[in-house]
Structure 1
Amino acid sequence: MYLSSIFKVWQICLVTFVSLLILVPSMAFAQGSCSASKARISAIEPLIAGPIAGLQTEGHPVDLSGFTFKRGDGAEIQLADFGGKTVLLNIWATWCAPCREEMPDLDALQSAVGGDGFEVVAVSMDRKAPSKPKAFFEETGIRDLSLYYDEKMALFNGLRAKGMAFGMPSTVLIDADGCSLAHMAGPARWAADEMKALVEKLKDGGSGQASNSDCATPGQINLLKRIDARKSVKP
């Protein structure tokens, strides 16, 4: 009886030790994968104002690189496939009125600052995707957004489990490492100057440290001047 108890205790200790050997490195990897993201959050927080003041940075960063959905041609894609590019991930559906209203703004943002360093990734949750969102894009003249969808809503449910999606539209700002920086519930004027300035900051690295790439262009200077002017106006 005594030997049996000792053996059981030994088994429990062995299982705990092995679990720690597996868990600790994986936790360290998860934290390390988003190690640069905290500095990016600090760099963009002063720019979160005006029409995008609803962006919430609390609870971030979180590694979202493994989240999946589909391209317009039906091929599965991961957020990791956008590596090296800042992503504004928007969850929407054609039956959602606020989603429909903000889609032209998202299209305008992609047109203005989209490219190698940034993309608006609007993922439709329509059950009849991709035909339903494709028809909506054509009817409303959405030209610069690529078509993405997830008819099973796994992406939405995954983000909801992490406290980043409660309804539609829901939007998550993701950095070049696939880590979340901020999220917003509800629609916004995404093509506003404040958002463009924030995107440009992240495209420049968003580290908060000065570098050669931090030399602002005349257009960026004008954007920042307009933002400062708005902040100085009392309601």
Structure 2
Amino acid sequence: MSRLSLTLVVTLGVAVAGCDRSAPVEVQESGASAMATSEIDRTYAGELMPLLNVSDPAGRELNLGAKQGTPVLLNLWATWCAPCKKEMPLLDDLAAGYGDRLQVITVSQDMGGAEKVAAYFAENNFEYLEPWIDPQAELGSFYDNTPLPTTILYDSMGQEVWRVRGDYDWSSAEAREAIGEAVGE
């Protein structure tokens, strides 16, 4: 197989699957611009939010299972994942638009520690997102090592409504309509 063919196969694979945790960083970056928008998947509708703790760079903990009462949009991402980084400003805008009617929780799957995540948040000045971290990748295991980014919408009872694996346009009318299912719009 020629080098060009191999590069095209790898790029296409990343574009279809999102960021793969086991792939090298250079592969992650190369597929970003070719990434197609993913679709909403309702296969796991009704499943409960995991009772797992995540932490922030200051060591504060958040139990995801205790977030019932308000719908939650849970996003798994990493600083090395180009499609993830593309989504972060859109998720920050989404959080701003819904205010206290929707909790947007972004949880980094970076293994490198809090420093990378804190630096990324400081560099990007997100106003509504907090730098939650899952350094042991417990969420990744819970979601069967799904590709990054993966975003799951939970209703106010903590039950999954739908999920999206891969890059998604969170500013689209389709996204707002789908989120409306959980926030009552």
TM-score by length of 2: 0.73
Partner amino acid, structure 2, of 1:108: D
Give the superposition deviation at 1:111.
1.1
Q: For the structure 1 residues 171 and 80, does the alpha-carbon distance in structure 2 shift closer, same or farther, using more than 3 Å as the test?
A: same
Residue in structure 2 matched with residue 183 of structure 1 by the alignment: 163
| 2:77 corresponds to 1:92 | yes
- 1:10-62 deviation per Cα after TM superposition (whole angstroms, max 9, x unaligned): xxxxxxxxxxxxxxxxxxxxxxxxxxxxxxxxxxxxxxxxx987111123211
Give 3-state SS (helix, strand or coil) of 1:100's partner.
Answer: helix
| 2:183 corresponds to 1:203 | yes
- Contact persistence 1:94–1:133 (CA under 8 A): yes
Give the superposition deviation at 1:170.
1.0
Match of 1:76 among 61, 81, 88: 61
Residue in structure 2 matched with residue 112 of structure 1 by the alignment: 97
- 1:174-217 deviation per Cα after TM superposition (whole angstroms, max 9, x unaligned): 1111111111110101122222233344222xxxxxxxxx7xxx
Gaps of 5+ in 1: 1-50, 205-213, 215-235
Give 3-state SS (helix, strand or coil) of 1:123's partner.
Answer: strand
Residue in structure 1 matched with residue 7 of structure 2 by the alignment: none
- Contact persistence 1:69–1:148 (CA under 8 A): yes
Q: Which has the higher helix share?
A: 1
Q: For the structure 1 residues 106 and 89, does the alpha-carbon distance in structure 2 shift closer, same or farther, using more than 3 Å as the test?
A: same
Give the superposition deviation at 1:154.
0.9
Residue in structure 1 matched with residue 130 of structure 2 by the alignment: 146
- Contact persistence 2:37–2:166 (CA under 8 A): no
Residue in structure 2 matched with residue 156 of structure 1 by the alignment: 140
Give 3-state SS (helix, strand or coil) of 1:109's partner.
Answer: helix
Give 3-state SS (helix, strand or coil) of 1:114's partner.
Answer: helix
Residue in structure 1 matched with residue 4 of structure 2 by the alignment: none
Give the superposition deviation at 1:167.
1.2
Residue in structure 1 matched with residue 19 of structure 2 by the alignment: none
How many angstroms apart in 1 are the aligned matches of 2:129 and 2:151? 15
- Contact persistence 1:87–1:120 (CA under 8 A): yes
RMSD of equivalent CA atoms: 2.1
Gaps of 5+ in 2: 1-35
Residue in structure 1 matched with residue 20 of structure 2 by the alignment: none
Residue in structure 2 matched with residue 192 of structure 1 by the alignment: 172
TM-score by length of 1: 0.58
Residue in structure 2 matched with residue 11 of structure 1 by the alignment: none
How many angstroms apart in 2 are the aligned matches of 1:177 and 1:65? 12
Q: For the structure 1 residues 125 and 53, does the alpha-carbon distance in structure 2 shift closer, same or farther, using more than 3 Å as the test?
A: closer
